Amino acid sequence: MKRYYVIYQGIVQGVGFRGRLIQIARRNQLSGYVRNCSNGDVECEVQGENVDEFIKETIKDDRFVKVFNYSLKQIPLKEGEKNFIVRF
């Protein structure tokens, strides 16, 4: 099991990106959170067995979303966390 802190840069706000991350996280049974940053980036923390698959899926462009860059940092696990949510 791993936990990552991820920052996404690009066209990632106002295009359904957070909702897409929630769907991918839930499909892969991951926990954590996602939120918009004031500078236009999106940050998330994600934890579970399939986090590498999550990252691969989330950086794929679609009709509206364009991830130009992302940074990834492994961080300590959070015990007892069960859901992947949007934070404001």
Q: Check residue 12 and give its pLDDT.
A: 97
CATH number of the domain bearing residue 41: 3.30.70.100
Q: Check residue 34 and give its pLDDT.
A: 98
Q: Check residue 49 and give its pLDDT.
A: 96
Q: What is the dihedral angle through the alpha carbons of 45, 54, 72, 20, rounded to the nearest 10 degrees?
A: -60
Catalytic residue among 20, 26, 27, 36: 36
Q: Check residue 7 and give its pLDDT.
A: 98
Q: Check residue 20 and give its pLDDT.
A: 96
pTM metric for this prediction: 0.95
Domain that holds residue 39: 2-6+14-86
Q: Check residue 76 and give its pLDDT.
A: 98
Q: Is 63 labeled as catalytic in the residue annotation?
A: no
Number of domains observed in the structure of the chain: 1
**Residue 76: both structure tokens together:** 């300590």
**Residue 42: both structure tokens together:** 């999106």
Which stretches in the chain have pLDDT values below 50?
Answer: none
Catalytic residue among 18, 39, 63, 83: 18
Q: Is 18 labeled as catalytic in the residue annotation?
A: yes
